[in-house]
Amino acid sequence: MKKLQLIASMMLGLAAAGSVSADAGKDTYTKVCAVCHAGGIAAAPRYGNAADWGPRIAKGVPTLYQSALKGTPKGMPAKGGNLTLPDASVKAAVDYMVAAAGGAKAAAEPKADAKKEAKAEPKKEAKPEPKKEAAKEAAKEEAPKAAAAPAPAAVAAAPLVQEGASAADVNSFNRLLKPAGKRNLPPPEDGIHDPANDGTHALQPPLAAFGSLPKSFAGNRVNWVEAIGSGKIKPRWDRTDLTAEPIVMDMNVVREVKGSMPDVVYPHKQHTQWLDCSNCHPAIFTPQKGANQISMASILLGEKCGVCHGKVAFPVSECRLCHSKKKDLVKPATAAAR
């Protein structure tokens, strides 16, 4: 756990340079949220579309803040995938989108339920039309307001802390988060299998099982890609049908990375040897090159590639396995010349 957090803070440090911006809702929207909310990527409610937003606004603006801050199971990444954003900026961006969908009226309803909504409301009325100047003014006023209201913020944060805690529990099975000496313990001691079950004692301990397999320097120390490639293991594709074979698709998708990190090569081959197309498409990734917004922040949060990597596949610390394509050094110069 600690290690992952450490890497997480490292990564956030890296990402921070490009992402910290003014506290203006519009600014945050344009830089972070618009990628999905402008056109409705992955069924995100579209900017300025009252029909998309109406039912959501009816849930109350505080609920929307929480969705935006924590993410939703249906594809809204926490803070739009950019964890370096201050909470106030994310909320301001929500306000900005709610206002653009004509939300001030609809948001007035849940007023009676929560005090914090009463505070959120005047903000929106201060900028009914997202005109450049007006929006900036409103956003300027907004930031101190949000900062000056610590009490309601604390109330809103309370359930979030619980959510976070249970999310950590969900991960407790994760061998890779344990200190190296505590990994791959015999099944009765690993905290995953039930020691009261006789079958648990019949299982081969991982260390013995892994002994003859090709080594790696991370995760559970086995190079699984090589293990399957060299025929050392042959996982059964179908539990009952011994003859069933996977449909292995050899197609690489290159994802260009801004900055100095080498580009990411996503290989379908190594994945489809183990996984069915439906393990990833469409729930985790839209099957279209570049259609998915992927960031290190979301991966570290256990989304996108992070659904598996760091849990059941090699961990995020192995940068070069994913960032494997050296940048064409001539390219930036040509680009600049244009």
Q: Which of residues 166-205 bind ligand HEC (CB under 6 A)?
A: none
Two structure tokens written together for 81: 């995938």
Give 223's contacts (C-beta < 8 A, 6+ positions apart). Answer: 213, 214, 215, 216
Q: Which stretch binds ligand HEC (CB under 6 A): 111-119, 128-136, 164-172, 297-305?
A: 297-305
Exposure string for 2-13, b = 16+ CB within 10 A, e = fewer:
eebeebbeebbe
DSSP line for 18-56: HH---S-HHHHIIIIIHHHHTTTGGGPPPTT-HHHHHHH
Minimum CB separation from ligand HEC for residue 242, in Å? 21
Residues 122-161 that bind ligand HEC (CB under 6 A): none
From residue 39 to residue 68, the character string flagging contacts with ligand HEC as x (rule: CB under 6 A) and all else as - is: --xxxxx----------x------xx--xx
* Residue 177: both structure tokens together: 């988060």
Write down the least CB distance from residue 262 to ligand HEC, Å: 9
158 vs 153: CA distance, rounded Å? 9
Q: Is the peptide bond before 150 cis (omega within 30 degrees of 0)?
A: no
Q: Which of 33, 101, 126, 139 binds ligand HEC (CB under 6 A)?
A: 33
Q: x/- site string to ligand HEC, residues 90 to 109, per CB under 6 A?
A: x--xx---------------
For ligand HEC, which is the closer residue by CB, 205 or 229?
229
Q: Closer to ligand HEC at the Cβ: 141 or 318?
A: 318
Alpha helices per DSSP H over 38-149: 50-57, 61-70, 87-100, 103-108, 115-125, 132-147
Q: Which is nearer to ligand HEC, 67 or 174 (CB)?
A: 67
281 in contact with ligand HEC (CB under 6 A) = yes
At 9 the three-state DSSP class reads: helix
- Stretch 299-328: interaction string toward ligand HEC, x if CB under 6 A: x----xx-xxx---xx-xxxx-xxx-----
Residues 240-269 that bind ligand HEC (CB under 6 A): 247, 249, 253, 255, 257-259, 261, 264, 266-268
- The residues with which 222 forms a beta bridge, in sequence order, are 215
* Rounded least distance, CB 162 to ligand HEC, Å: 18
